[in-house]
Amino acid sequence: MPEQKLSNLSNLSLEEIEILLPASAKKSIEPGRSLKWLYQRRAVSFEEMTNLAKDFRMKLARLARIGLPEIEAVQTSGDTTKKILFRLEDGLFIESVLIPGKSHWTVCISTQAGCGMGCRFCLTGRDGLKRNLLPSEITGQITMLQQTLPEGPDIKNIVLMGMGEPLANYQNVLKAIEIMTSDYGLGFSNRKITLSTCGLAPMIRQLGDDICINLAVSLNALTMKKKRTDARQQKISSESLLAACRDYPMPGRRMLTFEYILMAGVNDSPADAEKVARLLKGIRCKLNLIAFNEYPVSSFKTPSPETIETFQQMLIRHHYTAMIRTSKGSDILAACGQLSGCKTATEGEITP
Which residue type does 276 have? V
Q: How far apart are CA 347 and CA 344, in angstroms?
A: 6
For helices 201-210 and 231-247, give the axis angle rounded to 10 degrees: 10
End-to-end Cα spacing for the chain: 24
Which residue type does 270 have? P
Cα-only R_g, the chain: 21
Q: How far apart are CA 36 and CA 145, in angstroms?
A: 17
Residue 176: count of CB within 10 angstroms of its CB: 30
Task: Sort 109 into a burial class: Cβ within 10 Å, 0-12 / 13-18 / 19+.
Answer: buried
Residues forming beta bridges with residue 260, ordered by sequence position = 289
Q: How far apart are CA 181 and CA 194, in angstroms?
A: 12
Instruction: Verify whether residue 122 is a known catalytic residue.
Output: no
Q: How far apart are CA 35 and CA 306, in angstroms?
A: 51
Instruction: Verify whether residue 212 is a known catalytic residue.
Output: no
Q: How far apart are CA 208 and CA 158, in angstroms?
A: 18
- Spatial neighbors of 13 by CB under 8 A, at least 6 apart, are 175, 178, 179
Q: Note whether 52 and 34 are within 8 A (CB).
A: yes
Q: How far apart are CA 241 and CA 200, in angstroms?
A: 7
Q: How far apart are CA 317 and CA 298, in angstroms?
A: 33
Q: How far apart are CA 144 and CA 156, in angstroms?
A: 15
Q: Note whether 98 and 84 are within 8 A (CB).
A: yes
Q: Kindly name the residue from 108, 122, 198, 336 that is annotated as catalytic.
A: 336
Q: Kindly name the residue from 30, 95, 165, 259 that is annotated as catalytic.
A: 95
* Active site positions, annotated: 95, 336
